[in-house]
């Protein structure tokens, strides 16, 4: 079976289901996809990622997603890395970004907002409504914390004296927890 954009989106949603199962179920209905298709896409993507014969780095994403909509370089501190971004139908206002090291290894992969951040408030936060950078810009002093599983991120911040943890999967917002109530 060919692995394309639809399967790639399903593979992303498989991991998003960890935190936002209801949103993923709605997306599956909208796509006309089944849970079995979701699991199969995740299994196939994981197998390709660990296969000695499958392409690696940018080539693996190109195989699944076609040519990127954007390619360039990105400065991370004193390091320069290549960046490639693809459009995905399920998230038309975002791009799937892959940062690559000097040897072509994938350093990071997540959804980003092209052209800057979206202004958000605490009341605006709804699943799949924003990305990591949006929260960082909206809440001064926000800090990234290691996530609880692969491709999970957490952004900790304080708002009106309360501490929160915004949970992300592949850089896409999933849910908000009060820091005192949330697991580490």
For the whole model, what pTM was predicted? 0.92
Residue 184 lies in a domain: no
- For residue 86, list its beta bridge partners: 96
Q: What is the pLDDT of residues 162-173, one digit of tens each?
A: 999 999 999 999
pLDDT higher than threshold 60 for residue 1: no
Q: Does the structure show a pLDDT above 50 at 184? A: no
Question: What pLDDT, on the 0 to 100 scale, is given for residue 181?
Answer: 59
83 close to 100: Cβ distance less than 8 angstroms: yes
Q: Are strands 172-178 and 106-112 parallel, antiparallel or unpaired?
A: unpaired
Residue 98 domain boundaries: 56-115
Calculate mean pLDDT across residues 110-121: 93
pLDDT above 70 coverage of the chain, percent: 97
For residue 40, what pLDDT is reported? Answer: 96
> Does any domain span residue 78?
yes
List pLDDT tens digits, range 50-109.
888 888 889 999 999 999 999 999 888 888 899 999 999 999 999 999 999 988 899 999
Instruction: Say if residue 81 is in the same domain as residue 102.
Output: yes
CB 42 within 8 A of CB 10: yes
- C-beta atoms surrounding 175 within 10 Å: 16
Q: Please, are residues 81 and 99 in contact by the beta-carbon 8 Å criterion? A: yes
Q: Are residues 132 and 170 in the same domain?
A: yes
Looking at the structure, tell me whether residues 27 and 48 fall in a common domain: yes
Could you tell me if 102 and 128 lie in one domain? no
Assess if residue 48 is contained within a domain. yes
Domain boundary among 98, 115, 132: 115
């Amino acid at each position: 079976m060919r692995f394309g954009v639809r399967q790639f989106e399903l593979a992303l949603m498989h991991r998003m289901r960890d935190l936002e199962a209801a949103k993923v179920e709605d997306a599956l209905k909208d796509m006309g996809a089944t849970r079995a298709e979701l699991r199969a896409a995740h299994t196939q993507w994981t197998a390709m990622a660990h296969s000695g014969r499958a392409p690696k780095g940018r080539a693996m994403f190109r195989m699944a997603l076609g040519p990127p909509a954007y390619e360039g370089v990105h400065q991370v501190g004193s390091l320069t890395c290549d960046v490639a971004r693809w459009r995905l139908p399920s998230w038309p206002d975002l791009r799937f970004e892959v940062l690559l090291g000097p040897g072509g290894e994938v350093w990071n992969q997540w959804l980003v907002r092209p052209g800057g951040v979206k202004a958000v408030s605490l009341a605006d936060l709804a699943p799949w409504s924003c990305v990591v950078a949006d929260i960082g810009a909206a809440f001064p002093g926000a800090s990234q914390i290691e996530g609880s599983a692969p491709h999970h991120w957490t952004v900790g911040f304080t708002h009106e004296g309360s501490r929160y943890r915004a949970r992300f999967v592949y850089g896409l917002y999933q849910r908000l927890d009060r820091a005192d109530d949330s697991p580490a």
